[in-house]
Amino acid sequence: MADAEVKRKFLSSSKYAVVGASKDQSKWGTKVLQWYLARDKAVTPVHPKEDELEGVQVVRSLVDLPSPSETSVSIITNPKITLSLLEQAKTLNIPAVWLQPGAEDEAVIRYIKENGFEDKAIYGGPCILVEGDSILKSVL
């Protein structure tokens, strides 16, 4: 599947989750969460310790999402955490993941290729903060 198709698939979801948001508003994960909120998207932050971020109720892990098979997931974590998130995403049948710059390494890319995730994963540099709005326009 072409990169543009995966991005359209990702942004066609009815629900979103962000892994990597925190109380620190200068961090990219929090900026991505704010991006979804500013566009009135149904978004759930995923954080192991926080109860609420940016005024939104948090779940502890992807397993706790109400409808994981209908939820596209933005991942802004270090590659070791990203790898375990991809394993969970596969088990939960998450439709698409967007790895923000820096969330992947060779092991993550190898996992994507070896586990049939290439038609579900956006990785290798594009940022939703840069490309998201133009993709949303193409989906509408």
Residue extents of the structural domains in the chain: 3-139
The reported pLDDT for the residue numbered 2 is 63
pLDDT in tens, 53-70: 999 999 999 999 999 999
106 — phi, psi (to 5°)? -60, -40
DSSP state at residue 64: G
Range in 8-12, 32-36, 94-98 the model is least confident about: 8-12
Query: What sign does the CA torsion over 100, 105, 109, 115 have?
Result: negative
Fold of 3-139: Rossmann fold (3.40.50)
pLDDT in tens, 15-39: 999 999 999 999 999 999 999 999 9
> Average of pLDDT values for 117-130?
91
> Average of pLDDT values for 61-88?
97
Is residue 1 pLDDT above 60, yes or no? no
Question: Cα(first)–Cα(last) distance of the chain, in Å?
Answer: 20
Take residue 93 and report the two structure tokens written for it: 């049948």
Checking 85-90 for CB contacts under 8 A at 24+ apart, the result is: 85/19, 86/111, 86/112, 86/115, 86/117, 86/121, 87/111, 88/61, 88/62, 88/63, 89/62, 89/117, 89/120, 90/115, 90/117
C-alpha Rg value of the chain to the nearest Å:
14
Higher-pLDDT residue of 135 and 49 is 49
Average per-residue pLDDT in the chain? 94
